[in-house]
Chain A
Amino acid sequence: MTSRECSKPKIVWLQAITCNGNTHSLLSANANRLKLFLDSFNLIYHPSLTTELLLEELLQQNEEIDFLLVEGAITSNKDFFQISNQTTSEVLKKLVLKSKYLIAVGSCASYGGVHKKFEQNSDIFGLEEALEKKEISSLFHPIINLTGCPVHPEWIFQTLFSLKEYKKIGLDEKGRPKEIYSHLAHHGCTRNEYFEWKVEAKSFGLKEGCLFYEQGCRGPMTHSNCNRVLWNDVNTKTRAGMPCIGCTEFDFPRDNMLETKKNIGIPDQVPIGVSKRAYLSLAGVAKTFKIERLHERIIK
Chain B
Amino acid sequence: MTLKEEKKNSIIEKSLLLFSKNGFYNTTIPDIAKAMSMSVGNMYNYFKSKEELAKFAIKYSTNILARDLREINQLQISSKDKVFLFTKKYLENVQKSPEVIEYFLRVYLSNREVFNKDCEGFLCVSEFVTEVMILLDEGAASKEFRQQDFFPAFAMIMGALGGFAFLSGEKVLDKEIVSYSDAVAQNIYRALKYDE
Contact = CB atoms under 8 A, between A and B. Distances in A.
B121 interface: yes
B123 A264 contact: no
Given A263-B140, A268-B141, A285-B126, A276 B147 contact: no
B39 to A, nearest CB: 36
Contact of A276 (B121, B127, B134): B134
A266 interface: yes
Interface in B46-83: none
Given A263-B140, A268-B141, A280 B121 contact: no
Contacts of A265: 148-151, 153
A288 B123 contact: yes
A204 B134 CA distance: 29
A271 B55 CA distance: 31
B145 interface: yes
Contacts of B122: 284-285, 287-288
Given A264-B145, A288-B122, A281 B136 contact: no
A266 B123 contact: no
Contacts, number: 59
A263 B134 contact: no
Interface in B98-148: 120-123, 126-127, 129-131, 133-134, 136-141, 145, 147-148
A133 interface: no
B121 A287 contact: yes
A4 interface: no
A300 interface: no
Nearest to B119: A288
B130 A266 contact: no
Interface string A142-181: 0000000000000000000000000000000000000000
A277 interface: yes
Give the size category of A's interface with B. Answer: 10 to 19
Contact of B136 (A263, A284, A288): A263
Interface residues of B, number: 24
B133 A288 contact: no
Nearest to B122: A284
Contact of A264 (B127, B131, B147): B147
Contacts of B137: 263-264, 266, 268, 276, 280
Interface string A238-281: 00000000000000000000000011111010000000110011
A99 to B, nearest CB: 45
Given A276-B137, A287-B121, A264 B149 contact: yes
23 contacts: A263-B136, A263-B137, A263-B147, A264-B139, A264-B140, A264-B145, A264-B148, A265-B149, A266-B136, A266-B140, A266-B150, A268-B137, A268-B141, A276-B134, A277-B131, A277-B134, A280-B133, A281-B126, A284-B121, A284-B126, A285-B123, A287-B122, A288-B122
Given A264-B145, A265-B149, A281-B126, 16 more contacts: A263-B137, A263-B145, A263-B147, A264-B136, A264-B140, A264-B147, A264-B148, A265-B148, A266-B133, A268-B141, A281-B127, A284-B121, A284-B126, A284-B130, A284-B133, A285-B126
Q: When A and B form their complex, which 7 residue pairs have the shortest distance between CB atoms, in order from nearest?
A: A288-B121, A265-B150, A263-B140, A266-B137, A264-B136, A281-B130, A263-B137
Interface of B: 120-123, 126-127, 129-131, 133-134, 136-141, 145, 147-151, 153
Interface of A: 262-266, 268, 276-277, 280-281, 284-285, 287-289
